[in-house]
Structures are given as C-alpha cells and as structure tokens.
Structure 1
Amino acid sequence: MEEGGSVAEEEDEPVSPTGRLFREPNFRCHIVSVFGLAAPVDLPALRAGVAATLARHPRFSSVQVLNEFEKDARPKWVRTAVNVDDHIIVPELDPAATSSNPDKALEDYVASLSTRAMDHSIPLWEIHVLDFPTAEAAAAVALRVHHSVGDGVSMLSLFMACTRSASDPGALPSLPPRRRRWPLVSSSTGAAALDAVVALAMWAVSLLVLAWHTVVDVACFVATAVGLLGDAPTVLKGEEGTEFRPKRFVNRTLSLDDVKFVKNALSCTVNDVLLGITSAALSRYYFRKTGERLSGESDRQSITVRSAVLVNLRPTPGIQALASMMESGKHNGSSWGNKIGYMLIPFHLAKHDDPIEYVRRATKVARRKKSSMESVFTFWSGDMVLKLFGIKAAAALCYGMFTNTTLSFSNMVGPTEQVLFCGNPIVYIAPGTYGHPHALTVHYQSYMNTVKLVLTVDESRFPDCHQLLDDFAESLRLIREAASRKSDKAHDGTAG
C-alpha cells in the first residue's frame, strides 16, 4: 500500500524527451527550493500533510524504469509505493554552528545538496527539515526534486496546490492572472478603431516581423549550439566542467513595491525592470572585478553576455486541478512534465551615467523577443533532432547552447497573499537549480510584496557571491532613485 492512498492502476507513461535529457551525464539537473517558515516545524503535521499531497501526485509516486531488453528502450514512469519517511530528511547538524551563525549553517547545508546523488530506486524528491531560526524565518524546509519530474513552473504550481491561504485556511491561495506571452499585434494598436484594411495591413506587417525575428533568433540559436557563435570568456562565465562542481545558493529579499514603482515610472513591465537590474548588477560586478574602462562615451559602448532562458511551453494545470490530481492520485486529463523551449537574451555590460538606461535597454530587448517564436522553434527543432538522431545528439546541442552562453535567467510569479504549508505560514520562497553547465544562474521569485533574488553559483568562480548580491540590491536602489527623480520632474512639469 502507498501512504496516503493506494497506487493508481494507470498505464506506465514514457519519460518526456526533456526528462530524458535530464538523465544525461552533463544535464543531471535538480531543483532546490527553500521555504522559510514563520514557526518551528511540526514534524508529525508535516509528515501527514506530505502523505496527503505530494506523495499522492502521480510523478511523485513513480520511479523511472528502463527495460534494457527492449529495442530502442526508453525510460518509463512506473507507479510505486511511497514511504514518506524515505523522503523527509531531518539532518543532524552541529548545534554550535546553527546557533552561532544560523544563516551560514542553512546556506552551507543547502549547498551540500548539490554534491549528493539522489536515490533513483525511489521517487526523485526529498524534503529536508532545517528546524532552527535564521534572520528571516523561525525554520526552513528545502525541497529537492530531480528536474526530469517536472519544470520549475509546474513545481511551483504544485507546491502552491499543497498550501492554503493564511487568511482562509480552507481555501487554496490566489495567484495573479497570467498575461499573454507572445501577442502578434499589441493591444495598443487600437485595431478595433481603425479601418479594416489598415488593421489587416498592420496584422500582416506584424506577422512578417514575427517570422523574420524568429528566423534570425533560431539561426543564432543553432549557431550557438554548434559552437559557431559563443560568448567570450569573462569573469562571469564558467569553465569547462562547471556542471560537476559544487554550487552555492545565496539569496536576498528585494522590495516588489520598489520594482513596481520603476515599472510604472518607465511604463514597462516588472520583467523589464528585473532584466535591467540584472544588467546593472552584472555590470557593477564585471567592471569592479576586471578594472576595465570603456573608451569614449560609456553609454554608447558595452560588452554583451548572453543568458539562456528556459520557457515552459506546456499549459500548466491550475492549482485547483493539481489539488484534485493529488486527492485522486491520478492525472485526470491534466498535462504534466517538461516541455521546454529556449531563448537567448543578451545582457549589456556598460557604465551608464543614468541608471534608468539599464532598464530602457532591457525593455527594448524584451520587446524584441516578444515578437519572436524562438522558444517554440527551439523546442520543435530539439524534438526533431532527438527523434532523428537520438538523445545523445540532442544532449550535445543543448550542452553547446549552455557552454557557449554565460548564465541562466528565470523569473516566476508567486502568490500575492501569505500561504500556509502544513499549518505553517511561509515567509519566503527561494528556488534554485543546479546541474547545468553555467557558473551563474539568476532567479527571481515574487511572493506577497517581496521579490526573492536567488543566485546559484559555482563557488570556485564566485567566491564573493555575497558581494554580487549587494550589487543587485544597490542597482535596484539606484534605479529606484533615478525613477523617482524622473517622476518628480514629470510631476513638476505637469504642475507648471
């Protein structure tokens, strides 16, 4: 018998192509999410809650099985009995370390997870209980999941389906509404008010622009994957074999209100602001480390590094559907897994006299990428390579894409209200990932009125990673102040 319910009798499901990629030696990727709690951990309540939720999810109650006697054998997800005690880990930590410097003790333990292999004979997830207070929380739990189980967006949605609203413990939490990702024609065109012929012409032009940008982006992606186009070595770029080195996860809490203030002042999006902050922070770090000076007018010259951005293309089930999936222990027609495309986003490293310029440039890049189907075509082309030439060829192309770029970047939206996990209020969510060949991964996670910045770094490349965190915080402060001055001038001009 499976704890929390019997094993559902469903047909074994093949591991998705992306899930198979995460089994390859150079892509043994894992997701590690730390959740800060407002109270000490109630272990019996945690165990009962996990047995009633995560342990009942089809993916979290399955193992990957490969029948080596089959021709062209492919791994499948096979349901198995779940012993919750195998997955909830309470480590024995040095009391002196957890009391003298609890934040470092938490950081060190989470970093150690990047050096430990998972047991593939049981479902590929673990919950580590770190029941001691830190600067931001009374306790913490760290959820580690093999990336083949699902993508980051699905994982966040699933975890939210395991929580309840702090204001109404019987209700699921609320998430912000999702915006359309790649509109062909901007809503600002006012097509409804235009003559039908003009509207049709604008639609045709936007379609041609979309097609052209997609062709250019896919060509650059292929050139990057095969090694014809690559980022130059810098202090930000990892060396060969960085995917096998220990990783450290460091984080900093930023103000979502400050980010939204900049967004409103510059008439852009939250993602544009986060891209601008990242560009400004990486610039500060790069020029401090190298001591380089740009010749001529600094605003007109820059060094470009590129980020690989993973885009979830699978419609993610709503948290209500996921809650029902865990209650029944069956998929119930909901899709799950990894269906990921890629985008390459440039970050310009420069010294700008006006901090707002970082956000302006980021906004231009983001708008350009919104008029491209790069992520869809990269997924489709990768799927075709896998089917025609096998998993090794697909893995080689993906590995080339990562090694010829500098960093990874992601941004996810969390609940706008406080949530409870097994009765404990969550005070922060800090997700990260490791196992891919980048020395630096930048991740933003919003929750309530904060944004948690999480950096996953190769310790040998970024021994001063906490100083890099300071660069992000300082960049937001400078951009916020510049945006405030801009707003004040605009207000004074209007008043005058």
Structure 2
Amino acid sequence: MATIPSLNPLRIRTNKNVETTEDFKKGGDHEEPLSPMAQLFHEPGSNVYIIGILGSKTKIRSDVFKDNLVHTFLKNRRFSSLQVLDKVNGSMKWIPTHVNIDDHVIIPKLDPNMESSDKFVEDYISNLSGSPIENTKPLWDLHILNIKTSEAEGTCVFRFHHSLGDGMSLMNLLLSCTRKVADPEALPTLPSNKKSSDTKVSSLWSGFSILWNSFVALVMFVMTALFLEDTKTPMKGSEGVEQRPRRFVIRSVSLDDIKFVKKAMNVTLNDVVLGATQAGLYRYLHRRYSETDGDNIDVPHNIRLRATVFFNLRGSTKIEDFTDTTRHGTWGNKIGYSLLPFNITLKKDPLDYIRDAKAIMDRKKASLEPLFTYSFANLVFKLFGIKVAGKLNHKVFYNTTLWFSNVPGPQEEISFFGHEVAYLAPSCFGQPNALMIHVVSYKDKVTFVISADKETIPNPQQLCDDLQESFHTIKASIEST
C-alpha cells in the first residue's frame, strides 16, 4: 500500500525554464514563500489533499478541458510552480516551471462493458487517495472518467494538494471556470455574496459572552492538544489512519426540504444540516454497537465525540477572477476551526437534534475560536518552527473524531467548460481522522459527501443512508405537528 510521505525536504531538479540556483538565493521577482499554513500541510500527519468530484451530464471532451485549463489554471502561479525547499533557511518557496498539460490530465482507457460503472468510479477515486502526486510537478491533477454512471455521463476528479489553497480558494477557482446554463456569459451566484461580518459586540453582556466562550474554547483546544482524546468508537480512527486509502460516497436531499425545516424551526440552514448529521451519527453508531454486542445494545452514555468544523476567515465569498493570486489577496489557507461537540444519544423528539445543534453553534459564533486557532498556528510556527506546529496540529485533529465542512454552492444549474454539471462533491483525504463529512449545496439539492477510512468505517454507504433517513425523520416530525 502506498503511503503519503512528507514532502520535506524536497529534492527537485528544476528545468531550464525555471530560475537558476543563484536567482533563487537572491530572491528573484518570481519567487514567493509558502505561507506557514501551506507549509503545515506538508508535515507528517497533515499531508492533506483536497479532492473535487464533478459529474457531467454529457460525455467529457478532453481536448476542450485541456485547452481551457491552459487559460485558467495555468495562469494561476500556484498551479504552474514547484514547491522547493531553500536549504539555506529551511523555508519553502514557489518556483515557476514549464507545465505540460498532458502531465496533469489523466484519461484512462475504460471498458464500456464493465459490470458496475458506479463501483469502478468509486474504486478509482479510492485508489487515488492512496497515492500522492509526484512532487516533481505542480501538485494538482485531473482524471477524466468517460463512462456512464447512475448520476452522470462522465466524471471529473480533481486532486489538489492543500498547500495550493483552502477549500474556499479552490472552490472559487473551479466556479470561476463555470457559467450559468441559462446565461452562458454569466458567472454562477452563491447563496450570499455579502461581506461576512466579524463577531459583533452589541452590549456589555454580549462582550462578556464572547470573552467567556473564547476562553472556554482556548482551554479545550489546549487540553485537546495535550491529552484530551475522544472516546474510542467505531468512528474513531487508529494511529496511521492518514496514510490509508479512503472511500468517497455521496447522498443528496432536497434543498427545499431543508429550507422547510429551517423556516419551521426558525434556525439556519447550517443548524438543520448539523442537527441531521448528529442524528445520523447516533443512528449509525447504534447499529454498529448492536452488531458487535448483540441486539438492542445502545450507544454508551456520555461518549466524547467532536468534529473539527472549518470556517472561512475571508471577508467575502464572491466569485472573482481567481487566476490572479496577487490582485485579490484571496489565495492561500486562511481558515480557522472550532471543536464542535456532538451529543450522541437517542432523543425522543427528533427536533431536539436541531435544537442542540443550534445551541452549540450559537456559542461557537459568539466566540473568537476560529480566528484564535488560525492565529495560534501561525504563532507556534514563528516561535517554535514548522515541526512543532505540525505536531500540534496533528495532535488536535487526531484526538477528535471527524472533520466537518459546509460550503455553499451555485444556486442555479452551471456548465464547466461547456459541460452541464450534474453534481459537485468536494472532500479531503490524508487527514488524521477516519471520517470527514462535507456538505455542499447545488441548485435544488444538498449533498452529503463522506470521506471514510475503509478500515474504520467499512460501510460508508450505510452512514449515508443514516444521514438521509435522519433528515427525513426530522422533516416528517415537523409535518406531523
């Protein structure tokens, strides 16, 4: 089984189109250092990749994709540069290089008569998660699978090393390459293009609440980094989980149904999604414990199960020209995270799952936890170096159970390089958790994307079923009142 190694130190021979060693030492105009967060994603245990799965309603024309990638992705310096270690000071820098698009676009020959195209695509993507991208080229690639599945006529699989940018940067890069199907000249719109507001202090009491919530979050963060580990459950990954291949499965629910629950309970869309996720996790764990210990064995009481929830720290989610990494200042890894506790227990009223999620998220919103985690990682890097910062980051992630992310997608049907998009499914692999749940909206659907370690969670399809069924139970409970 191929492992995902640390890329430090890099030993790369640059070609004739790249600056010479002397130019590199002088700090030429074309060189740019990797940010601390980008370097963190090269440390052992944090060598994370972002994967983007895109289903097309038509067969994919590879020549069209290649031509357009040259005029979009390759204009972005991060997608046309190597990441090279400066042996003088130990830092890493972007070094521009000549890119052969055929080295990055992979089109395997497929058997049109295969027994199950859906299983083949799932297996293919799983295999990608077990092998890193060669560090002798820019750290991204695209795999085109031109075979009909139950969801699409063709499937594109993008892989990006997390050092290239965070999920918001990469999502916006992809969306900047799309257009509305109803208006081929217009960029798609996200649910909100307004500037995001910082945590606001409206009164003395709210200011105290923010300080208190932030202090509690700080204490929990430090305790987690030192010793506080989640309960060992059938979802908790074992040591070395970041090096194992993963399964990626998706399941969708109606966006209108989620909006119906949101309106009925006067909560946010994120509260509904988190509540349904909490209910689905309980349902799945109850089944796993019952299978192991006998019928009707419930989930143990008072288990500690937390998610690392990621927050975008940028001021805007507006889709712009993301081929320019300097003009907008929106590239890089500008994300913070919070440690979100789930109450994994049976609730007589299914709506209590959403009420609990809202109460927890309200506390998280009334704190500076995401900004703190982002700033703290940078501070540790500056004071103690990348190795210490990497070990701290890994410890926090490993001691929790899962990653969770919720990203708004286009509100209308879109096309990518002229191909109408059937679905979008972003996720990650290489993280020291056995499970990631990524939620993305597109048009009239909300899709749960599961990234699961095959050894810890051998049946991620069942987990998808549980998430979907839990939401339907919540909706039915509202309809019956």
TM-score by length of 1: 0.87
Q: Which whole-Å CA distance do the structure 1 matches of 2:236 and 2:139 have between them?
A: 30
- The equivalent of 2:60 in structure 1 is 41
| Counterpart amino acid of residue 128 in structure 2 | L
**Residues 268, 363 of structure 1: 8 Å contact kept:** yes
Mapping of 1:342-421 within 5 angstroms? 342-421=337-416
The answer to whether 1:84 aligns with 2:106 is no
- The equivalent of 1:134 in structure 2 is 149
| Counterpart amino acid of residue 293 in structure 1 | D
Residue 103 of structure 1 deviates from its aligned partner by 0.8
SS of the aligned residue for 1:47 comes to helix
- The equivalent of 1:118 in structure 2 is 133
SS of the aligned residue for 1:349 comes to coil
| Counterpart amino acid of residue 91 in structure 1 | P
- The equivalent of 2:203 in structure 1 is 203
Residue 211 of structure 1 deviates from its aligned partner by 0.8
Residue 342 of structure 1 deviates from its aligned partner by 1.8
Indicate the larger mover: 107-116 or 9-18: 9-18
Q: Which whole-Å CA distance do the structure 1 matches of 2:18 and 2:302 have between them?
A: 57
Structure 2 regions of 5+ residues with no counterpart?
1-16, 20-27, 291-296
- The equivalent of 2:118 in structure 1 is 103
Q: Which whole-Å CA distance do the structure 2 matches of 1:43 and 1:401 have between them?
A: 41
SS of the aligned residue for 1:156 comes to helix
- Per-residue CA deviations over 1:281-325 (Å, capped at 9, x if unaligned) read 000011111133379xxxxx65341011222324467423326x2
The answer to whether 1:11 aligns with 2:30 is yes
* Alignment RMSD (CA, Å): 1.9
Going from structure 1 to structure 2, the CA distance change for 1:316 and 1:142 (only over 3 Å counts) comes to: farther
Structure 1 regions of 5+ residues with no counterpart?
1-5, 186-201, 296-300, 487-496
Given candidates 200, 222, 226, the residue that maps to 1:184 is 200
Higher helix share: 1
**Residues 36, 140 of structure 1: 8 Å contact kept:** yes
- Per-residue CA deviations over 1:200-245 (Å, capped at 9, x if unaligned) read xx51211111011101101111110111x22111111011110111
- The equivalent of 1:218 in structure 2 is 218
- The equivalent of 1:310 in structure 2 is 310
- The equivalent of 2:274 in structure 1 is 275
**Residues 317, 334 of structure 1: 8 Å contact kept:** no
**Residues 154, 337 of structure 1: 8 Å contact kept:** yes
Q: Which whole-Å CA distance do the structure 2 matches of 1:429 and 1:35 have between them?
A: 5
- Per-residue CA deviations over 1:258-292 (Å, capped at 9, x if unaligned) read 11111111000000001001100000011111133
Mapping of 1:149-160 within 5 angstroms? 149-160=164-175
Going from structure 1 to structure 2, the CA distance change for 1:448 and 1:477 (only over 3 Å counts) comes to: same
Residue 119 of structure 1 deviates from its aligned partner by 1.4
Q: Which whole-Å CA distance do the structure 1 matches of 2:476 and 2:302 have between them?
A: 23
- The equivalent of 2:9 in structure 1 is none
The answer to whether 1:143 aligns with 2:130 is no
Indicate the larger mover: 330-339 or 232-241: 330-339
| Counterpart amino acid of residue 31 in structure 2 | D
Going from structure 1 to structure 2, the CA distance change for 1:53 and 1:321 (only over 3 Å counts) comes to: closer
Report the number of matched residues. Answer: 450
- The equivalent of 1:22 in structure 2 is 41
Q: Which whole-Å CA distance do the structure 1 matches of 2:346 and 2:317 have between them?
A: 43
Given candidates 67, 75, 93, the residue that maps to 2:92 is 75
| Counterpart amino acid of residue 188 in structure 2 | P
Q: Which whole-Å CA distance do the structure 1 matches of 2:473 and 2:419 have between them?
A: 36
SS of the aligned residue for 1:320 comes to coil
Percent identity of equivalent pairs: 40
TM-score by length of 2: 0.90
**Residues 193, 316 of structure 2: 8 Å contact kept:** no
- Per-residue CA deviations over 1:344-394 (Å, capped at 9, x if unaligned) read 001111111211111111111111111100111111111111111111111
**Residues 182, 371 of structure 1: 8 Å contact kept:** no
The answer to whether 1:443 aligns with 2:438 is yes
**Residues 67, 75 of structure 1: 8 Å contact kept:** yes
